[in-house]
Amino acid sequence: MTDASNSQASNGQAPNSDTNLTGARIGVITFPGTLDDVDAARAVRYAGAEAVALWHADDDLQGVDAVVVPGGFSYGDYLRAGAISARTTVMGAVVEAAKGGLPVLGICNGFQVLTESGLLPGALMRNEHLRFICRDQWLRVENNTTVWTTRYEPGAEILVPLKNAEGRYVADASVIDELEAEGRVIFRYVGAEGDHNPNGSLGDIAGISSADGRIVGLMPHPEHAIDALTGPTDDGLGIFLSVIDSLLKV
Amino acid sequence: MPNEQSTASPEEAVVHVDTVSAAQASPDVAQPYRELGLKDDEYTRIREILGRRPTEAELAMYSVMWSEHCSYKSSKVHLSYFGKTTTDEMKSKMLAGIGENAGVVDIGDGWAVTFKVESHNHPSYVEPYQGAATGVGGIVRDILAMGARPVAVMDQLRFGPADAADTRRVLPGIVSGVGGYGNCLGLPNIGGEVVFDESYAGNPLVNAACIGVLRSEDMYTAHASGAGNKVILYGSRTGLDGIGGVSVLASDTFSGDGSAGAGSNARRKLPSVQVGDPFAEKVLIECTLEVFAADLVVGIQDLGGAGLSCATSELASAGDGGMHVWLDKVPLRATGMSPAEILSSESQERMCAVVTPDKVEAFLEVCRKWEVEADVIGEVTDTGRLVITFHDEVVVDVPPRTVAHEGPVYSRPVERPASQDVLEANTPDSLERPSTPEELRETILRMIASPNLCSRAWVTDQYDRYVRGNTVLAQPADSGVVRVSDDSNLGVSMATDCNGRYTALDPYHGAQLALAEAYRNVVTGGAAPTAVTNCLNFGSPEDPAVMWQFSEAVKGLADGCAQLGIPVTGGNVSFYNQTGTTAILPTPVVGVLGVIDDVRRRTIVGVGQEAGETLILLGETLDEFGGSEWANVVHNHLGGRPPAVNLDTERVLGEILIAGSRDGMISAAHDLSEGGLAQAVVEMCLTGETGARIVLPADLDPFVALFSESTARVVVAVPRSEELRFTEMCQARQFPMTRIGVVIPEEPVLDIQDVATLSLDELRTAWEGTLPALFA
């Protein structure tokens, strides 16, 4: 059951709550400064699963089948983005569950939280040009074998919003080499030469995965691209459909 | 004054307390009222109201609340005209209007919308980032205080010349302040304005708008009713930042304790621009919406300009008229703050709620969940007095209405300056016009690259337009549109506009031109205009010429709204926008709110959605270049008459655009304003990444056709299959209409026959390159 008391006060119109056709239950975490939890929950519902609100102070993941750590400014990001969130009660539970194979998706600030939690390698630094940037961004899906990307064709190019101030992916050369060698660079920035990389990320990396492909983090926002009315495309929906597919196969 | 200071150690900041009894005992103490911005007769009136001299705390309250910013003392006599021109029919959908924190309008299906624009001009010049950031924070709390969830923001920014050195200081800071705060709050920024003009060089304008959505039965207002109810202050702690932001307090003389030691003086030199903490505001929003949802609140007020002085006096005077506040219960972030400082502090991210005693614990519990500090600081009484104590000593004892609502009202001298005739006589008719195809081509490229017409992407790409997932239209659209909720297709639209050059030429019609453009921008997106707000930015009210501009603009706007049948639900006045004796261009920013019953039919700007599209120009083009952007860019000229405004024509145009959208006859549309037809067509092609072939009307001079700024005009793209139906609809309404071309998906060019063929790449380079080259 969705714990409505933990959802943000008045986003609670509970739209499309009849769409849980698959029986899948996907948790969406809310830290005090999380912003895109409403969007992530909507994407989960659009894809046909139940969105379960998880509050940062709770250690009970309510038996969800997967977790999304959404974007925002979890604790204001006055320290390193995601640093405080990584040490919250709920993230302790997520890290523990992830060891047992729970699929986890971190979007934007959520990606930062996953690197700060040690679930994914590397770090997200301030954008090269030092400004917040919001734009529609082309990505290439480099690996469609993770639980979050099976719905995409190999090498598919998708257009989703990107919006962040600290989105420049960095890691030691050895880590980058390892990620590339193991096919763990999942999303790469593509587009017009010279303008395709929005923030100076190493290797044009937009998103990576854990070794087993069950934990994925990316800076761009697939949850904002689920309907061409409110986003540039519906290209982002595939991520949520993919994980639901994987849950149904289990 | 009593000298308690002698007993304090220098390390410990001295709390100097001037009490009511001390005031009674020392009636003749000289008080620094002039430094606090009060005139002699205003001070005399305070003494008459109280029957004694005010205490320092009372003086601080009156001086900030009677400031121009809070009391509207110079504008009130003019603003009353809005009330006189608003008919009952116009009011029929208004749930709250002028005088509340923000106007509220019923939009159907049980939903209501609240919206407002406010200025934060002066702080943003002093400290661009924080000034702009706290401008966003302040308007968002105004919207929140109506019981609404804030759902979108917009900002109206005006700067000196784009290539001026100081603009490079101010603009990046202001833009990142708007973005830094709004992005962290999770509010999509769906549009706004960026305008450059020399007159704003020493006085940039930072206006911020916010839209909020609520169920119509859930509206809250700022009032404190029910004796015994508790007053809860929650949010950030109260500090020394922003003291006197609205009244320009002179901090050294303010507390009269120059002898308190060097440390104390240094402490009092904290910046008078407030410092924002958007994360604190984000949790304040969620916390507030949760106490609303749980029905834990009787009345609520945000703390903005004049801080607790304003919140307590306004809450008390709107309720049963009495309140007791224990000032020592206010959580502080500095030590040794005096009562006057606590009352005047403009520390951000604070709210004040009135709560029945049985719900206090539940209220505090919600605050604890969101880790928001909250304390009961007072109680509603039936004494008719606002009594404030500090460690059991009475420091304020006043009738609250005299502070909040019964401030001075001035009828300042109003005089049309003789220079106005000179300005009008200096028409653009003799300016040299481009005539050859080469000259016209060069002019097109020069115009689209000019600072006021070029792409705003460098600015707007620093704002999150996607968060919350309900943004249906945002910049570069004519208006911003957000869906009110996931489970509804109902949407609200907003556009804000003002051309200060037009207003300088004719303040009455200039304000109507601003209204006409905002109205047109809303209908171009497919929404029906419903209500109006404004942010009136002018020079010094003590200058009769400025007061003439102001009074004319108010009249023009009010008459215009009456003609269009949409009410003004609120507004904001910002005076003293000038450098030395030179005022800014009169800048009455007008915001029009629209409603769209189904957001899926909103009209976009970019062409190329349909396989075959015909471009039709709606409206009549005249030779109108007074105040035009062409005269500005090419000749640095301002003079003559602004374009004629015809609001009845605008209304018919609106009906056509809404009907066209509803019946699927329009695939794209863009309004014509600054830069004329050339600008509109270039933007439609670049936004849609699709070419077009234009044939200019044979009966018009190509220059006039391309660059005139005649009003009530829109270019629409009509799918070929709908062309007959659409043109018949326009003919039935006898609306002027010219078929000006077709979209050519196969060729990435804008081909203006007999004038120029421009590749989209060439246009894009010109249009998009300007701001990054200046500011990146």
Region for residue B549 given its phi and psi (left: phi exceeds 0; alpha: psi -120 to 50; beta: otherwise): alpha
Of the partner residues A8, A132, A163, the one whose CB lies closest to the CB of residue B286: A8
From start to end of B270-321, where are the E strands? 299-302
pLDDT digits (tens, 9 = 90+) for B491-521: 999 999 999 999 999 999 999 999 999 999 9
Question: Which CATH homologous superfamily contains domain B17-73+222-404?
Answer: PurM-like C-terminal domain (3.90.650.10)
Percent over 90 (pLDDT), chain A: 83
Q: Which pLDDT score is estimated for B249? A: 36
**What ipTM was reported for this prediction?**
0.90
A71–chain B nearest CA distance, Å: 9
Mean per-residue pLDDT, B49-59: 96
- Tell me, what amino acid is at B573? V
Min Cα distance B530 → chain A (Å) is: 23
CB contact, 8 Å: B277 with chain A? Answer: yes
Asked whether the beta carbons of residue B278 and residue A10 sit closer than 8 angstroms, the reply is no
Q: Which of the pair, B269 or A55, is modelled with greater confidence?
A: A55
Q: For B681-737, write each residue's pLDDT tens digit.
A: 999 999 999 999 999 999 999 999 999 999 999 999 999 999 999 999 999 999 999
- Please state which architecture CATH assigns to domain B434-454+604-776: Alpha-Beta Complex (3.90)
Q: Which residue of B has its CA nearest to A34?
A: B186
Average confidence score pLDDT of chain B:
92
Q: How far apart are CA B617 and CA B653, in angstroms?
A: 11
Q: With the CA atoms of A211, A217, A219 and A221 taken in that order, what torsion angle do they form, in degrees rounded to the nearest 10? A: 130
Burial grade of A37 (CB within 10 A; 0-12, 13-18, 19 or more): buried
Nearest CA in chain A to B281: A33
Cis peptide before B544 (omega within 30 of 0): no
CB A187 within 8 A of CB A207: yes
Q: pLDDT value at position B264?
A: 37
The residue-averaged pLDDT of B538-563 equals: 97
Q: Tell me the C-alpha distance between A220 and A236, whole Å.
A: 10
pLDDT for residue B256: 35
- Residues of B within 8 A of A240 (CB-CB) are none
**Is A108 one of the catalytic residues?**
yes
**B69 carries an active-site annotation:** yes
Find where tokens 């490229």 sit. B445
Option in A39, A76, A224 nearest B184 (CB)? A76
Q: Which residues of B touch A78 (CB under 8 A)?
A: 279
From the CB of residue B40, how many other CB atoms can be counted at a distance below 10 Å? Answer: 9
Instruction: Chain A: give the shortest CA distance to residue B740, in Å.
Output: 29
Q: E strand or H helix at B741, and its extent?
A: strand B737-744
Q: Which residues of A touch B180 (CB under 8 A)?
A: 132
All residues of chain A having their beta carbon less than 8 Å from the beta carbon of residue B186 are 35-36, 72
> Is the confidence at residue B456, as pLDDT, over 70?
yes
pLDDT at A250 over 90: no
In tens, the pLDDT along A13-24 reads 334 444 567 889
> What confidence score (pLDDT) does residue A19 get?
56
Average pLDDT over residues B54-64: 94
Cβ contact, residue pair A13, B485, below 8 Å: yes
Test B184 with A42 for CB contact under 8 angstroms.
Answer: no
Q: What does the pLDDT average to over B46-71?
A: 94
Which residues does chain A have within 8 Å of residue B471's beta carbon, measured at their own beta carbons?
230
Query: Cβ of B489 under 8 Å from any chain A Cβ?
Result: no
CB contacts of A221 in chain B (<8 Å) are 466
Domain range annotation of chain B:
17-73+222-404, 434-454+604-776
CA distance A19 to chain B (A): 13
The answer to whether A33 contacts B183, with C-beta atoms less than 8 Å apart, is: no
Angle at B650 between CA B646 and CA B653, to 5 degrees: 140
For chain B, the helix, strand and coil percentages under 3-state DSSP, each to the nearest 5: 40, 25, 35
pLDDT digits (tens, 9 = 90+) for B741-761: 999 999 999 999 999 999 999
What's the pLDDT tens digit per position in B186-233? 999 999 999 999 999 999 999 999 999 999 888 877 777 889 999 999
| Residue spans of alpha helices (H) in A51-158 | 89-99, 109-116
Contact A230 B471 (CB under 8 A): yes
Please choose, from the candidates B368, B410, B238, B408, the residue with its C-alpha nearest in 3D space to the C-alpha of residue B312: B238
CB A215 within 8 A of CB A103: yes
- Please state the rounded mean pLDDT for residues B378-386: 94
Picking from B290, B468, B471, the nearest residue to A9 by CB comes out as B290
Q: According to the model, what pLDDT value does residue A36 have?
A: 96
Rounded distance between C-alpha atoms, residue A183 and residue A172, angstroms: 17
Nearest CB partner across the interface for B183, out of A13, A75, A132 = A132
Amino acid B253: pLDDT: 34
Q: From the CA of A234, how many Å to the nearest CA of chain B?
A: 12
Q: What is the DSSP letter of B682?
A: H
Residue type, B257: D
Cβ separation of B466 and A221 shorter than 8 Å?
yes
Beta strands in B33-126 (DSSP E): 94-96, 103-108, 111-119
Q: Is the pLDDT of residue B111 over 70?
A: yes
* Buried-exposed string B73-82: b where 16+ CB fall within 10 A, e elsewhere: bbbebbbebb
Chain pair A-B, CB pairs under 8 angstroms: 107
**What pLDDT, on a 0 to 100 scale, did the predictor assign at position A16?**
44
B9-34 average pLDDT score: 80
Q: How far apart are CA B513 and CA B494, in angstroms?
A: 16
Give the per-residue pLDDT at B397: 97
Beta-carbon separation of B466 and A38 below 8 A: no
B17-73+222-404 and B434-454+604-776, same CATH topology: yes
- Element housing B312 (H / E): helix B307-318
The predicted structure's pLDDT at residue B244: 57
Catalytic residue among B16, B78, B120, B324: B120
Q: What is the CATH number of domain A4-249?
A: 3.40.50.880
The pLDDT value given to residue B102: 82
| Inter-chain CB proximity B469 and A230 less than 8 Å | yes
The pLDDT of residue B271 is 59
Summarize pLDDT for B592-620 with one digit per residue, the tens. Answer: 999 999 999 999 999 999 889 999 999 99
Which among A50, A56, A108, A116 is annotated as catalytic?
Answer: A108
Q: How far is CA B106 from CA A11, B81, B93, B488, in A?
A: 20, 23, 5, 15
Tens of pLDDT, residues A20-42: 678 899 999 999 999 999 999 99
Nearest alpha carbon to residue B90 among B496, B531, B514, B520? B531
DSSP state of B527: P
Listing DSSP states for B703-764 in one string gives HHHHH---SS-EEEEEEGGGHHHHHHHHHHTT--EEEEEEEETT--EEEETTTEEEEHHHHH
User: Residue B540 is encoded by which pair of tokens?
Assistant: 């010094």
Q: For residue A77, list chain B residues with Cβ-Cβ distance below 8 A.
A: 184, 279
Average pLDDT, chain A: 91
CB contact under 8 A, B289 and A132: no
**Among A55-69, A131-145, B45-59, B267-281, which is the least confidently predicted range?**
B267-281
pLDDT for the residue numbered B119: 95
- Active-site option among A50, A142, A166, A223: A223
CB distance from B180 to chain A under 8 Å? Answer: yes
Q: Within a 10 A sphere around the Cβ of A80, how many other Cβ atoms?
A: 15
The pLDDT assigned to B272 comes to 65
Q: How far apart are CA B439 and CA B755, in angstroms?
A: 9
Q: How far does the CA of residue A17 sit from the closest CA of chain B (Å)?
A: 10
Whether A32 sits inside 8 A of B283 (CB atoms) is yes
How is residue B747 written in tokens?
A: 């060729």
Tokens 């009787």 found at? B298
Q: Are strands B322-326 and B374-381 parallel, antiparallel or unpaired?
A: antiparallel
Burial B509-518 (b: 16+ CB within 10 A, else e): bbbbbbbbbb
